[in-house]
Chain A
């Protein structure tokens, strides 16, 4: 299993609030292989961003993280100290955020920040570091890289900033990149370019990529595997084809009906919708978390927790008491 870049087992995140304990993430297993793109998709508040922060050990201070296993490139980093994690974050795994301005320092030029990263993590001298920084900017499709190195983040457009962010993340040739809604703040034309760039670089550097998004269009086009999250749990996972061609969980099916697809949904016809609201995750929760919004709900759904069941040779799994045969009938 040398290809496995990231292996997370049984991740839970609890956040103590005034009203009680918020079980934001509950027992999540994810893994990413080299050259693979895992898309974590879900609506706001489902815990997808917290999951990524937990992997990077960047959770807010008061959040409580519980994990059974956290392996990066075959080695356990579960017991790493703050300092060790901080070294790893710059070098072995990188993170790209929705708004690059939050992770670029406005007081320093792009070049300064890139050179500093290289000096710190790869112990390079200034000249070599600057040279590599320049080549990396060119690699992410930035023209006039020499001039850009002397510019400040606010002088760049949103798309350029995201490219710079990607270049900075790639400087130390990480094994894993986690991108949290990297294109949500960008225009559609720029979005396609950035995603394409990410995909090309990923295969060139043979990295694992975790992409967190709420946009099913992005998922369909870039993912190798997909994990659908709902209310702190993975409710369905599988390869991108399995999820899009044959969604099993009622929530995944509901999501697919909500988006207009040219050729499938007729213009002007009403779209599907998922009535109801995400349940509150404060306090103990028993039973299926989607039960309140599900069309196929039975009493059994509410009585005990539902396990993720494996289907189609184990690559697809979903968390529902209805088995595949019955599901085919109700659909």
Chain B
């Protein structure tokens, strides 16, 4: 049989075209640079921090940052009300923020993805149960429930991660359910079933690869979400407990001196804002780049 129709194949390798696409996506580049910088800072905190973030020196309390006339290069971002070096606390705080963001997103991602994919793939009763659970979850105010639980159990890093993880799965479930529903109706899923694939194989090889880009996008959104919620909980005094250097806690501790020493809340506030923005930019970029219709 003759070969009758031809289409030019991509000359460039798969990797080559991917880097080209990333290069074309400025938001993603900016976002990833910031995110990876924060990750590097968090990992290398002991090397980067000029001082011990817990060391108090009441003689040096509330020193302003270097750009102020009273500031010094000894404490680049000044010191807090207990005389702790603010830059060092900020650097160590990156660890807390990332840990909580990623930890909570992992737990909620696992719960939400399993529920969503099951609901979307099996439909029927499973779907009814999952949809009901999502509705129940959506009718609970996250911050209030988190506050109540932390108030009862007591705040600690582990508790905050677990509580947020158990509360933030709704968006995963909703998105995974609808994207699985969509993929499930594709003929290649039916073809895989007809070929004799087991359910788990269909899910792993046909469904998951096609919903994973949505999963990544939701994960980034939820990491950012968890980071902000942690900051809010810590700000209210029911999140991470002092003296841990969480950015939310730093804002909370600085709020009393907001009028006279505004940097105390601006610096951790800006750090939070930049990190969350960068994570979201990265998520957007990942979605744009991994969409299969863009592959060519």
Q: Is there direct touching of A and B in the complex, by C-beta distance under 8 Å?
A: yes
Q: Which residues of A contact B (CB under 8 A)?
A: 273, 275-277
Which chain B residues numbered 1 to 55 have a C-beta less than 8 Å away from chain A? 2, 4-7
Which chain B residues numbered 88 to 128 have a C-beta less than 8 Å away from chain A? none
CB-CB < 8 A to B2: which residues of A?
A: 275
Whole-angstrom distance between the alpha carbons of A71 and B4 in the complex?
A: 42
Closest to B2 in A: A275
* Interface residues of A, dominant DSSP: loop
**A275-B2, A275-B5, A276-B5 known; 7 other A-B pairs, CB under 8 Å?**
A273-B4, A275-B4, A276-B4, A276-B6, A277-B5, A277-B6, A277-B7
Query: Closest 4 A-B residue pairs measured CB to CB?
Result: A275-B4, A277-B5, A277-B6, A275-B2
Distance to closest chain A CB from B167 (angstroms): 36
CB-CB < 8 A to A276: which residues of B?
A: 4-6
**What bracket does the count of chain B residues touching chain A fall in?**
under 10
CB-CB < 8 A to B7: which residues of A?
A: 277
Whole-angstrom distance between the alpha carbons of A273 and B4 in the complex?
A: 9
CB-CB < 8 A to A273: which residues of B?
A: 4
Whole-angstrom distance between the alpha carbons of A14 and B4 in the complex?
A: 29
Whole-angstrom distance between the alpha carbons of A205 and B24 in the complex?
A: 55
Closest to B3 in A: A275
Distance to closest chain B CB from A270 (angstroms): 10
Closest to B8 in A: A280
Closest to B24 in A: A18
Whole-angstrom distance between the alpha carbons of A277 and B6 in the complex?
A: 6
Whole-angstrom distance between the alpha carbons of A11 and B164 in the complex?
A: 61
Whole-angstrom distance between the alpha carbons of A295 and B5 in the complex?
A: 15
Whole-angstrom distance between the alpha carbons of A273 and B3 in the complex?
A: 12
Whole-angstrom distance between the alpha carbons of A275 and B5 in the complex?
A: 6
Chain A to chain B contacts (Cβ below 8 Å), 10 pairs: A273-B4, A275-B2, A275-B4, A275-B5, A276-B4, A276-B5, A276-B6, A277-B5, A277-B6, A277-B7
Whole-angstrom distance between the alpha carbons of A54 and B201 in the complex?
A: 48
CB-CB < 8 A to A277: which residues of B?
A: 5-7
Distance to closest chain B CB from A56 (angstroms): 28
Distance to closest chain A CB from B22 (angstroms): 16
Whole-angstrom distance between the alpha carbons of A275 and B4 in the complex?
A: 5
Whole-angstrom distance between the alpha carbons of A174 and B234 in the complex?
A: 69
Distance to closest chain A CB from B100 (angstroms): 41
Distance to closest chain A CB from B17 (angstroms): 12
Closest to A274 in B: B4
Distance to closest chain B CB from A102 (angstroms): 19
Distance to closest chain B CB from A88 (angstroms): 36
Closest to A278 in B: B5
Distance to closest chain A CB from B293 (angstroms): 14
CB-CB < 8 A to B5: which residues of A?
A: 275-277
Distance to closest chain A CB from B21 (angstroms): 11
Closest to A292 in B: B6
CB-CB < 8 A to B6: which residues of A?
A: 276-277
Whole-angstrom distance between the alpha carbons of A325 and B2 in the complex?
A: 31
Whole-angstrom distance between the alpha carbons of A277 and B2 in the complex?
A: 14
